[in-house]
Amino acid sequence: MATVILQAAFARRYTDGQTQLDCAANNYAALVTALEARFPGFSRSLDSGMAVAIDGEIYQTPLLEPIGPDSEVHFLPLIGGG
Protein backbone atom coordinates (compact mmCIF):
# COMPACT_ATOMS: atom_id res chain seq x y z
CA MET A 1 0.00 0.00 0.00
CA ALA A 2 1.13 3.52 -0.70
CA THR A 3 2.00 5.75 2.24
CA VAL A 4 0.29 9.14 2.37
CA ILE A 5 1.97 11.90 4.40
CA LEU A 6 -0.01 14.95 5.52
CA GLN A 7 1.00 18.19 7.20
CA ALA A 8 -0.12 18.31 10.85
CA ALA A 9 -2.59 21.20 10.49
CA PHE A 10 -4.24 19.56 7.48
CA ALA A 11 -4.36 16.21 9.28
CA ARG A 12 -6.03 17.72 12.35
CA ARG A 13 -8.74 19.16 10.16
CA TYR A 14 -9.46 16.24 7.82
CA THR A 15 -8.11 12.97 9.24
CA ASP A 16 -8.54 13.31 13.00
CA GLY A 17 -4.84 14.11 13.31
CA GLN A 18 -3.47 11.13 11.38
CA THR A 19 -0.41 12.41 9.53
CA GLN A 20 0.53 9.09 7.93
CA LEU A 21 -1.97 6.86 6.17
CA ASP A 22 -1.73 3.65 4.16
CA CYS A 23 -3.89 3.48 1.07
CA ALA A 24 -4.20 1.03 -1.83
CA ALA A 25 -4.46 2.83 -5.17
CA ASN A 26 -2.85 2.52 -8.58
CA ASN A 27 -3.08 6.21 -9.54
CA TYR A 28 -3.70 9.59 -7.96
CA ALA A 29 -7.40 9.73 -8.82
CA ALA A 30 -8.00 6.34 -7.15
CA LEU A 31 -6.02 7.48 -4.12
CA VAL A 32 -8.12 10.60 -3.67
CA THR A 33 -11.33 8.59 -4.13
CA ALA A 34 -10.23 6.09 -1.47
CA LEU A 35 -9.23 8.84 0.96
CA GLU A 36 -12.52 10.67 0.38
CA ALA A 37 -14.41 7.47 1.27
CA ARG A 38 -12.48 7.24 4.55
CA PHE A 39 -12.48 10.96 5.34
CA PRO A 40 -15.47 12.82 3.84
CA GLY A 41 -14.49 16.31 2.70
CA PHE A 42 -10.87 15.33 2.06
CA SER A 43 -11.02 15.76 -1.72
CA ARG A 44 -12.62 19.21 -1.57
CA SER A 45 -9.78 20.42 0.61
CA LEU A 46 -7.25 19.59 -2.10
CA ASP A 47 -8.70 22.24 -4.38
CA SER A 48 -7.93 24.94 -1.84
CA GLY A 49 -4.20 25.30 -2.04
CA MET A 50 -2.58 21.87 -1.83
CA ALA A 51 0.24 20.46 -3.91
CA VAL A 52 1.07 16.77 -4.29
CA ALA A 53 4.43 15.03 -4.49
CA ILE A 54 4.57 11.39 -5.55
CA ASP A 55 7.85 9.64 -4.83
CA GLY A 56 9.61 12.98 -4.47
CA GLU A 57 8.30 14.62 -7.66
CA ILE A 58 5.82 17.51 -7.41
CA TYR A 59 2.94 17.43 -9.89
CA GLN A 60 0.74 20.25 -11.12
CA THR A 61 -1.87 17.95 -12.67
CA PRO A 62 -1.45 14.55 -11.02
CA LEU A 63 -4.85 13.04 -11.91
CA LEU A 64 -3.61 9.91 -13.69
CA GLU A 65 -0.09 9.74 -12.28
CA PRO A 66 0.71 6.16 -11.27
CA ILE A 67 1.11 5.19 -7.64
CA GLY A 68 2.88 1.98 -6.76
CA PRO A 69 2.47 -0.16 -3.66
CA ASP A 70 5.67 1.31 -2.20
CA SER A 71 4.99 4.91 -3.27
CA GLU A 72 5.09 7.82 -0.87
CA VAL A 73 2.57 10.59 -1.51
CA HIS A 74 2.90 13.95 0.24
CA PHE A 75 0.16 16.57 0.34
CA LEU A 76 1.73 19.98 0.88
CA PRO A 77 0.36 23.51 1.23
CA LEU A 78 1.11 25.73 -1.75
CA ILE A 79 3.70 28.40 -1.19
CA GLY A 80 2.71 31.86 -2.34
CA GLY A 81 5.16 34.14 -4.03
CA GLY A 82 5.22 37.52 -5.45
Between CA 58 and CA 78 the distance in angstroms is 11
Find out if CATH 3.10.20.30 is the number for domain 2-77.
yes
Largest CA distance in the chain: 38
Q: Are 43 and 30 in contact (CB under 8 A)?
A: no
pLDDT of residue 49: 73
Query: What does the pLDDT profile of the chain (82 residues) look like in tens digits?
Result: 999 999 999 899 999 999 999 999 999 999 999 999 999 999 888 876 788 999 999 988 898 999 999 999 999 887 766 5
pLDDT of residue 31: 96
Q: What is the pTM of this model?
A: 0.87
**To 5 degrees, how large is the angle CA 23–CA 24–CA 27?**
105
pLDDT of residue 22: 97
Q: Where are the domains of the chain?
A: 2-77
